[in-house]
Structure formats: C-alpha cells, structure tokens
Amino acid sequence: MSEFVKNAMNQLNDLGYKYTQRRADMLAVFDQDINHFKSAKDVQQAMKKDHPNISFDTIYRNLRLFTDYDLLEENEIDGEMVFRQHCDPILGHHHHFVCNHCGKTVPVRLGDLSYYSQQLPGYEINGHSFQLFGLCPECLAESKRQS
C-alpha cells in the first residue's frame, strides 16, 4: 500500500470512517498516475477486475468523500467531473494546464498577484483560481494524424 493510500485511509479513520478494501483500492487508482484527472468511469474501469459489481453510486459517494476531506481535487472537463490526487506541496503555489482529451496535467507558475491588486484599486483579493485548458503534445499530434 502506498504512502498516499495509507495516509488517506488513516485520515478517514481519524474522521470516523471505517477501512474498506474497496475504498483503499479506489484511492490507489489515483496513485497510479498522479498527473492525469480521472472520471468516475475511469475509476470503475480500473476497479472492475477486483470489484466487478461496484456501482457508480458507490464510486461517486466515495469521490465526494475524498474531495470533501481534500484527499483528491476535482475539476470539470467537457461537462464531466474528474478527479486527481492533490499536488505535491513541494511544488509551492502553482496552477495547471489540463489536457481536454486525456486529462493530463502540467504545473504552471504565474507571476505575482500584486498586478491584479493594482488593476482593482479599493478591492481586496482573498482568493483566486486559474487553469489553462487545451491539448497536450501527444493528443495534439494524434488529432493532427486523424485530420
């Protein structure tokens, strides 16, 4: 069991949630490739060998639990909710480029936010959200091949 899964399961246990293998296996899906968002369908596909009867209700309920306690982050790509492991805190403050096709994420650093404060005199900025969307090099190349 990975450190991510161990820590997440311990955190859930501390919050009063019981350990289940299905929950641990679901978290492990997000530990396999931390640089891609995954949909509930992706999770079901990854888990079908060991948990062939897992329902979307169970998947969504657990994904909501994981995001409520900041074990996973969520995003919306083309109208579908997708999830991934939170970024490594060592990266510091950053944002993401997200591939609309495969869900790959790449960290992006932005300049100082004081620029925006200067553009909004008299306003207090207390948060922000910023993401870039498009196609990663692999998906772009495939798109061009299919054209």
Q: What is the pLDDT of residues 74-102, one digit of tens each?
A: 988 888 999 998 776 556 667 888 888 88
Does CATH place domain 3-85 in 3.40.50.800?
no
> Which residues lie below 8 Å from residue 40, measured CB to CB, with a gap of 6+?
56, 59, 60, 63, 81
Q: What is the pLDDT of residues 18-56, one digit of tens each?
A: 999 999 999 999 988 888 899 999 999 999 999 999 999
Phi, psi of 5 (to 5 degrees): -65, -45
Residue ranges of domains in the chain: 3-85, 90-146
CA separation for the pair 54, 76 (Å, rounded): 23
According to DSSP, the β-strands at 38-39 and 80-85 are antiparallel
CA separation for the pair 57, 37 (Å, rounded): 19
Three-state DSSP class for 14? helix
Pick the CATH number of 90-146 from 3.30.1490.190, 2.40.50.140, 3.30.720.200, 3.40.50.300: 3.30.1490.190
